[in-house]
Structure 1
């Protein structure tokens, strides 16, 4: 998986969350950095995988596998996974 492919997946997930009205408790849409938390990465590592940083990081094979499994979830299961990660995201230093 390339960095661009990962970024495309994240954008697709973001659009899905918006379409299904999945928001933060304050009603704001999920920020892009939420998806880094969702995948288990620090904000800085995630930005290097999906951004245009000079020190861009390659997407590891285990991350590609993880993303592929997430993409194959049924819609209801994916919604539950997103929603189950929001409280931890809010408690973490990401928010």
Structure 2
């Protein structure tokens, strides 16, 4: 996530965790994110940030549902293992902590 942020990606989390828990997670890892909120608000996040690609990384079918409903591409966390450049060409992505 630090590398993605350093490259100019817009990053944050859309989760079923409360905002304060999400913020503590990011703060504990020293990462300044652009947003935190509920996964059911991904369409609001999409409205706030203009990007050529919107990606939500998650680990459940509920994550897939909300991502696709908001017009995000969905990647399962297991799909990322061993795939160099899985987010190449993206300037936005959302991560579920």
TM-score under structure 2 normalisation?
Answer: 0.25
Q: Which structure's residues are more often helix, by fraction?
A: 1
TM-score under structure 1 normalisation?
Answer: 0.25
Q: Which structure's residues are more often strand, by fraction?
A: 2
Larger CA Rg, structure 1 vs 2: 1
